[in-house]
Structure 1
Amino acid sequence: MFKQLLLLIFLFSSSHLTAHVFTFKDQPGDEYVIRTYSLQELLINNELRGITDLKYEGRLKVLSNTKSGAKISGEYLYYSKPHLSSRGYRLENKRHTSSQFIRRSNGKMNIGSHVFFPVVRHVPTFPKRSLQIGDSWVAPGEEAQDLRKFGLSEPYIFPFKGHYRYVRDETFRGKDCAVFEVMYILNHNNQRPFGKSSLVLPARVMGYFKGYYYWDKKEGLPIYYEGDYDFIYVLMNGTVLEFKGIEYGDVRK
């Protein structure tokens, strides 16, 4: 009986000590469809102005593998509709939807500052070491916001530190997945001159995102994520915009 108990303890402990090196496994010819949904509240000076149902769709293809990483190209589409509306989604961006970037196997991206999509970049980024359940790490990331309606012709990009934790393993949609907790907090002061239209552009951005990524170990990519966010933009004219909500998305290969 004692030996059986020791064996059970050993097996239980071993399952929690299994380490894994996580990498993106992009191969030439791979194609992905990414769909993200968000229910977003907009507050202006602390007054609720509306709730919008948002949808983002990306269609990407791996063109080649280079010394720098996988060369990926595609397009992103952005749709919206009023919350609880019976109408279908309306396409919002009819121009400048194309994207091209290099992604290293660890998730770090090389992408031009003029490219609007993807909005969240370098997430997830993995360390070079092997990881086991309970491990945590920090890696830099970026958000690129589209503020063309405010007069800014290029993406408004701000950096953040992504905090990651390997939470558990789980069978999700029939796949052997690792589940990662992802969180980042923003507190970014703008030091970039915008020109004549600067009064309606951000002087400061604050907020957070917290969510979970489901990583397909075999395919080497995230297949689902969910999370919540709350971002506050203090504009140069004193107006305070707040965007908060919940979102989820998946990747189909």
Structure 2
Amino acid sequence: MRRALILLFFVVGSLNSQDFYYNFSEGKSYSIAIRSDYRRYKNKKYAGLTSKEYKVIFHANNLENSYKIDGRIYKMEKTLRNQVLSGYLVDEDCSVSYFMNRSGEVKSVKETEYPFLRGAPNFPEKTLSIGDSYFGYGEAVLDIERKYVLPIATQTVYLGKKMLFGSERDYFEIRYSYTRNHGVKEITKTLAMHNVKLYYDNEAKLPSYIEDHFKEEIHHSGDVYRMEGFTLYFYNITDAMNKEEVVRDLSDDLDFGEDDGVVVEKGEEGVVLRLEDLKFKPNTTDLLDIEYDKLDKIYNSLAKIKDKTFLVEGHTAFAGTERERYELSLERAKTIAYYLISKGLDSKRVLYRGRGADEPIAPNDTEENMRKNRRVEITILDG
């Protein structure tokens, strides 16, 4: 009887024990939508509400016991029309590149602010049972006047299963704070506590959602900064894009002629639809009526593409001032983005921005070349 009870205890314990780790696949594309809202105080005076939104799209190459992560991060601003989301304005973007092992340790980060959290969440190289806790170390990006990367200490506890958006996930709670030995002479004191909720997808072997609530007090160069708020991370996994196949299928579906001014081609960030010499009403960002048939055709093709993000970019020829060129390119990109959304494209998957005359595809030396540079490009991003 005693032996049977011991065996039963061992079996039940084994059923409640699991291994956790990061598992990236080379045939997949990964994206993380990040939203951060927090109140800022400087020397006990309210300094405003800060809201930040980011979209990270990346791929992973499998190495021995680790992954090489390469991708791009877009810093965005939510756009509302009549209190309804109408896409995201891209403020800036840059490439990201780093190494991560299966436990979550991050190394060799390119000189960018991402990942904001490095080495957290992390997983131990052992089986976990409900109630198990463990400690770890990592780094976090702190934005005070300038950006610093500070060391952090973490404590994580595994709490079993919990529902998230209608699906069962493994649930962890993490606490972390900055360590004292950060080596930044401008920062003389840090008082911080982050309470993190992590939902882990045991099928994908990756986080699916992270919620970080925090309070920080930072003494920096004689000033005292206090921040209170939260950061949310939404993970998504899709099949990696076959650019050649998408170019072929999209070209066949659109079936534009040479005189229509629409080119479909591979780009660095995805597949690009280049709309050359779109016709607008004089001195406005309003399209001529004849252009809407072209956009309707493009919308019908884009609507068939699931789980990808669309980046709409406006370009101008080299005419007018730099500010005028930027504003014109931005407004024309916005016109196209808004129209595609009004037709039914998911506004959460539409980004837009103006490029001015910074990226010409031809010299601005003839009217024909300037016509080519006056264009809107829609990039189907791989994530």
- Shorter-chain TM-score: which interval? 0.7 to 0.9
Between the two proteins, the alignment pairs up a number of residues equal to 227
Q: 1:90 to 1:240 in 2, by over 3 A?
A: farther
Q: Which of the numbers 203, 206, 214 marks the counterpart of 2:191?
A: 206
Higher helix share: 2
> Offset of 1:174 from its aligned partner?
5.1
Whether the aligned pair in 1 keeps the contact of 2:151 and 2:182 (CA below 8 Å) is no
Unaligned runs of 5+ in 2: 238-383
Unaligned runs of 5+ in 1: 1-6, 194-200
Q: For 2:228 and 2:75, how far apart are their aligned partners in 1?
A: 18
Higher strand share: 1
The higher relative CO (CA closer than 8 Å, separation ≥ 6) is in 1
Residue aligning to 2:43: 45
Q: 1:98 to 1:113 in 2, by over 3 A?
A: closer
Residue aligning to 1:26: 24
> Offset of 1:167 from its aligned partner?
1.2
Is 1:215 matched with 2:183?
A: no
Residue aligning to 2:356: none
Is 1:233 matched with 2:218?
A: yes
Is 1:122 matched with 2:106?
A: no
- Counterpart of 1:223, as a letter, is S
Aligned-pair identity (%) = 22
Which whole-Å deviations, capped at 9, do the CAs of 1:65-90 have from their partners, x for residues lacking one?
112511111111223579xx959765
Is 1:168 matched with 2:165?
A: no
Alignment of 1:146-185 (within 5 A): 150=145, 156-173=148-165, 175-185=167-177
Q: 1:174 to 1:86 in 2, by over 3 A?
A: closer
Q: For 1:73 and 1:113, how far apart are their aligned partners in 2?
A: 10
Q: 1:187 to 1:47 in 2, by over 3 A?
A: farther
Residue aligning to 1:186: 178
Residue aligning to 2:109: 112
Secondary structure of 2:103's match? Answer: coil
> Offset of 1:29 from its aligned partner?
2.7
Residue aligning to 2:246: none
Query: Given the two structures, how large is their TM-score scaled by the length of structure 1?
Result: 0.78
Q: For 1:113 and 1:216, how far apart are their aligned partners in 2?
A: 28
Larger Rg over CA atoms: 2
Residue aligning to 2:33: 35
Whether the aligned pair in 2 keeps the contact of 1:116 and 1:146 (CA below 8 Å) is no
